[in-house]
Structure 1
Amino acid sequence: MSITIDDVSTLLHLPMMGQMCDLEELEFEEARTALVQLIGVDGGTTGAEMEDARGPKVRLSWLREIYVQRYAWGVAALAYLYDQLGDASLASTKQMAGYLTLFQSWIYEHFPGMGRRRLVTSYDDTTPRAMRWQSPRQSSTLAEIRSQLDALTYSGVV
């Protein structure tokens, strides 16, 4: 059992269709030129956003405003999570890094006996499913999670 693209779509409401993007470090002017060419925003607007973001980068909220449907953000989120899970699966690893909302909500969705969480009573189906649960401030350690995973039986998986 593994996290799938369908889980990303259902839990985070991220688009699955669209172009994947390549990442490379660029200087300020190179980044502005690339954004103008790829997104179609004028150079002044792009330059102002990059200055607000303090470097050759832009904020995700700005990108959403410009072109939320153009890129397959869900695929990127899943690829990044798989990379982090690969590192976390090593016996010497003590903790995970990165954005774990997808992983956490996937666990809550498919493993009802695992993890500490509370259902949010104000949740409605028009929001990402990941907003259905509220996580406690104190989380489980990786050792505790591994122990819970090792103890799982077939009936403990939805």
Structure 2
Amino acid sequence: MSKSRLAPLVTASYCSVNKIIVSIFVERWQPETNTFHMPFGEMTITLDDVASIIGIPVTGRTVSYNDRMACEEAQALLVDALRVEPIETHDDQLIQVRGQSDKLEWLRERFGEMSDDNGEEMIDCAVRAYLLYLLGCTLFTDKSGTRVPIIFLTHLVDLDNVRSYAWATAALAYLNRQLGPLGLASRHEIKQMASYLTLLEAWVYEHFTFLASTPNIHYQPNHPRFHRWVPRREYAPLQALRERLDSTNLLQSRYSHNSYAILCNCALPTSQAVVASDFFHPAH
């Protein structure tokens, strides 16, 4: 995991998303500019935010995402990367390649009990399956929270090259893409969305600390900034928070990991649980 540079994702998810916090920002999203429209101007999540909040690579090779991947191509990729029997890829109840996505539950059940006795090749397959599972639980979560696009396996075939991809850049692009149509919807039309909402919630806590909850007393400066906050699960009514945000003023302040940051003047920053902990089952 450390070689892949994706290790921070193992613990970088809140147990549940604060729907009110997410909602009051999603409804301010403008897809034309990829920014949140605030009373004092516009704000957006930057690559520096993603790198500091999650701690994954910003620079590197491009992570391509094609949601029009042919079903036959997806099946061939499963056979090549995970050594799945070709007949298995046609079993919709087992793998469920609908929309060229893999069911997270199947990945966990199929590869979660691997041990050293399975041989190097199958262990590599289990590592690829785990990384795909991890991406599906975090950066590239779909609306159901139960599937992951198989296309991302193309970036996991060569395990030595996983670290060379700009995963943070891909995560931000995916989040912006999912926010796009929601910014055009009315407040009553927004029911659910895909993407890594922990990133959005942690970003809110970083820049609007009056919305944050208790600081994590165990946080260390070398940790991803996601760990600075203990997320709050209960909040004031939605309308009250909308009005509170509407009254926010702008303050620019200098702080440790960025030259300038846009912050509210209410407070200055001080400097799904472990999503993949249940992937590997004890070997029987």
Q: CA deviation at 1:121?
A: 0.1
Q: CA deviation at 1:147?
A: 3.5
How far apart are the structure 1 equivalents of 2:129 and 2:199?
28
C-alpha contact 2:81 2:128 (8 A) present in aligned 1 = no
Q: Does 1:16 align with 2:58?
A: yes
The 3 A distance-change label for structure 1 pair 78 and 136 is: same
Cα displacement string for residues 54-86 of structure 1 (whole angstroms, at most 9, x for unaligned residues): xxx9333795xx344221110111112212333
C-alpha contact 2:214 2:229 (8 A) present in aligned 1 = yes
Residue 100 of structure 1, aligned match among 197, 220, 227: 197
Map 1:25-44 to 2 at 5 A. Answer: 25=69, 26-33=73-80, 44=121
Secondary structure in structure 2 of the residue aligned to 1:124:
coil
TM-score (norm 2): 0.42
How far apart are the structure 2 equivalents of 1:4 and 1:51?
29
Map 1:43-82 to 2 at 5 A. Answer: 44-45=121-122, 48-49=125-126, 58-60=132-134, 66=159, 67-82=161-176
Residue 91 of structure 1, aligned match among 159, 177, 186: 186
Using the aligned pairs only, state the percent identity. 30
C-alpha contact 1:118 1:133 (8 A) present in aligned 2 = yes
Q: Does 1:151 align with 2:247?
A: yes
How far apart are the structure 2 equivalents of 1:52 and 1:9?
24
Structure 2, gaps ≥5 residues long: 1-42, 84-119, 136-152, 252-263, 269-284
Secondary structure in structure 2 of the residue aligned to 1:138:
coil
2:223 is aligned to 127
Structure 1, gaps ≥5 residues long: 37-42
C-alpha contact 2:212 2:229 (8 A) present in aligned 1 = no
Tell me the amino acid that sits aligned with residue 196 of structure 2.
Y
Higher relative contact order (CA 8 A, sep 6+): 2
Tell me the amino acid that sits aligned with residue 91 of structure 1.
S
How far apart are the structure 1 equivalents of 2:205 and 2:129?
37
C-alpha contact 1:35 1:46 (8 A) present in aligned 2 = no
TM-score (norm 1): 0.69
More helix by share: 1
Aligned-residue CA RMSD in angstroms?
Answer: 3.6
Residue 118 of structure 1, aligned match among 214, 218, 226: 214
Q: Does 1:3 align with 2:41?
A: no
* Structure whose alpha-carbon radius of gyration is higher: 2
Tell me the amino acid that sits aligned with residue 30 of structure 1.
L
Q: CA deviation at 1:116?
A: 4.2
